[in-house]
Amino acid sequence: MDRYFGRFGGMYAPETLMPALLEIEEEFCKLVKDENFLSEYEYYLKNYVGRPSPLYFAKNLSNHLGVRIYLKREDLNHTGAHKINNCIGQALLAKHMGKKRLIAETGAGQHGVATATVAALFGMECEIFMGEEDAKRQFHNVQRMKMLGSTVRVVSKGSKTLKDAINEAMRDWSETFEYTFYLFGTAAGPHPFPTIVKYFQSVIGKETKEQIKRLEGRLPDYIFACVGGGSNAIGIFSAFLEDHEVKLIGVEGAGEGIHTGKTAATLCSGSVGILHGTKTYILQDEEGQIQNTHSISAGLDYPGVGPEHAYLKETGRVEYVGATDKEAVAAFLLLTRLEGIIPALESSHALAEVIKRAKMGLFKTSDIVVVNLSGRGDKDINTVLELWKDDEL
């Protein structure tokens, strides 16, 4: 299995962890060729997650913006986001490898909830690492994980967000990998995680392709997805990478703006470096120290990004842009009002870019736009309420 995407990727891991990573790589390679494993995975996707998720034509939003907009409804998955696709797959892998305990990092809490869920489903011990800041922002998700029987380890080191949760999970894993599987939540981290996560999320793209062909008789003109670590984005992009007529746009959390220093837009304002096991774009200072990030959305608040996205940026296949906190909140409210769908703040960033382009007149009326609605926004109500009170929107 190739460790690299162009010059990005790799296995920059402490030697202690190498046997664990190599073992996962080996087992994964075997399992993806195993009919039993694949049919078990598909069984759970269909009957537990609720796939295929609909590709919904957002009529009101389309009328409002003057372009045909479809929403890939990952928000309708069990637990409320795309994260569960990956969790089912990796948990089955872990089970197959005989591991008794799952650990995971989480920012928004969605990946933590999804991991806690599959741990409950498969009867595994589970511990979730979460930055103190994020645990505060996502109080309800913390409670959900606990109810599901997981331990939540609140990390009060560093910036107290996702990157520190990853650091701590890696440290735990390097002591416990004999019985613990690190269920990595996004298409970043050391090889083989970017490839594994892409594999389990590629179902989003495959379904979308089939659905849009059925509904419109052709491929879409644009696909928009938000990019934190990049798992929902690579999941939906993966089926279209060779279809060059489809424009792919990844939207990062720009926070207060790409050039303000208060941002999480790694591909837009970062530079190449090595973080959490992979060579990719990262937000760093001139000395190579990792910078603190800012995004209203905890799920996008990460100073790195999956290595394949770095490659897709460099080759120009995907265009990466940033949406600000403000734009995301406006998009959140607009979709809620017009369609009765409350989107996750993460997904709202992808929507925000569509709104921006529509308002600038950048679409033709005949254009078909697909937005990956990676999750639902129940978890974000409190965050939005803080801004909404004194806002006339």
Partner 1 sequence: MNLIDERFEKLKKEGKKAFIGYVTFGYPSFEETLGFIELVYSYVDILEIGFPFSDPIADGEIIQVASRKALNEGVKLNHLFESIEKFKKDKPVVLMLYANTVYKRGIDKFFESCKVCGIDGVIIPDVSFEESFEFKEVAEKFGIVYIDLVSISSLERAKMIAKQSKGFLYCVSRKGVTGFKGQIDDRIFTFLRELKTITSTPLAVGFGIKSKEDVEKFKDLADGIVIGSAIITKIDEGKDKLEDFLKEISESLKDK
Ligand X SMILES: Cc1ncc(COP(=O)(O)O)c(C=O)c1O
Please give the Cα distance from 163 to 80 (Å, whole number): 23
Partner from ligand X, partner 1, none contacting 230, C-beta within 5 to 8 A by type: ligand X
From the candidates 25, 74, 105, 168, give the one annotated as an active-site residue.
105
Contact 284, 260 (CB under 8 A): no
Question: Which residues ranging from 277 to 306 are in contact with ligand X (CB under 6 A)?
Answer: 299-300
N- to C-terminal Cα separation, the chain: 50
Partner from ligand X, partner 1, none contacting 14, C-beta within 5 to 8 A by type: partner 1
Tokens (6 digits) for 130: 């979460």
Chain centroid, CA 239 distance in Å: 17
Convert residues 363-382 into a mask of x (bound to ligand X by CB under 6 A) and - (unbound).
-----------xx-------
337 C-beta neighbours (distance < 10 Å), count: 13
Please give the Cα distance from 274 to 91 (Å, whole number): 27
Please give the Cα distance from 302 to 362 (Å, whole number): 29
- State the residues that interact with partner 1 by CB under 8 A: 3, 10-20, 157-158, 163-164, 167, 170-171, 174-178, 271-277, 279, 282, 284, 286-290
Residue of 150, 347, 348, 383 that binds ligand X (CB under 6 A): 347
| 69 three-class SS | strand
374: annotated active-site residue: yes
Residue of 228, 270, 303, 322 that binds ligand X (CB under 6 A): 228
Contact 319, 362 (CB under 8 A): no
Cβ closer to partner 1: 165 or 312?
165
Partner from ligand X, partner 1, none contacting 189, C-beta within 5 to 8 A by type: none
What is the closest distance, in whole angstroms, from the C-beta atom of residue 97 to ligand X in the complex?
Answer: 23
- Closest residue (Cβ) to ligand X? 375
Partner from partner 1, ligand X, none contacting 277, C-beta within 5 to 8 A by type: partner 1
45: which DSSP letter?
I
168: annotated active-site residue: no
Cβ closer to partner 1: 4 or 122?
4
From the candidates 83, 99, 209, 379, give the one annotated as an active-site residue.
83
Contact 104, 182 (CB under 8 A): yes
Short-list 154, 190, 152, CA closest to 170: 190
Partner from ligand X, partner 1, none contacting 226, C-beta within 5 to 8 A by type: ligand X
Please give the Cα distance from 300 to 182 (Å, whole number): 20
Partner from partner 1, ligand X, none contacting 161, C-beta within 5 to 8 A by type: none
Short-list 80, 46, 9, CA closest to 299: 80
Strands of the chain (E only): list them. 4-5, 8-9, 55-57, 68-73, 101-106, 125-131, 151-155, 180-182, 222-227, 247-255, 271-275, 278-282, 318-324, 368-373
Cβ closer to ligand X: 53 or 363?
53
Cβ closer to partner 1: 52 or 273?
273
Cβ closer to partner 1: 11 or 183?
11
Short-list 155, 387, 162, CA closest to 264: 162
Question: Which residues ranging from 14 to 43 are in contact with ligand X (CB under 6 A)?
Answer: none
Residue of 10, 89, 220, 229 that binds ligand X (CB under 6 A): 229
Tokens (6 digits) for 48: 């537990």
From the candidates 198, 339, 374, 379, give the one annotated as an active-site residue.
374
Please give the Cα distance from 387 to 329 (Å, whole number): 8
What is the closest distance, in whole angstroms, from the C-beta atom of residue 389 to ligand X in the complex?
Answer: 24
By CB under 6 A, is residue 10 in contact with ligand X? no
Cβ closer to ligand X: 229 or 322?
229
Question: Which residues ranging from 88 to 117 are in contact with ligand X (CB under 6 A)?
Answer: 107-108, 110-111
By CB under 6 A, is residue 134 in contact with ligand X? no
Assess whether the previous peptide bond of 192 is cis (omega < 30° from 0).
yes
Which residues does the annotation mark as catalytic?
83, 105, 374
Which spans of this chain sit near ligand X (rule: CB under 6 A)?
81, 83, 107-108, 110-111, 186, 226-233, 299-300, 344, 346-347, 374-375
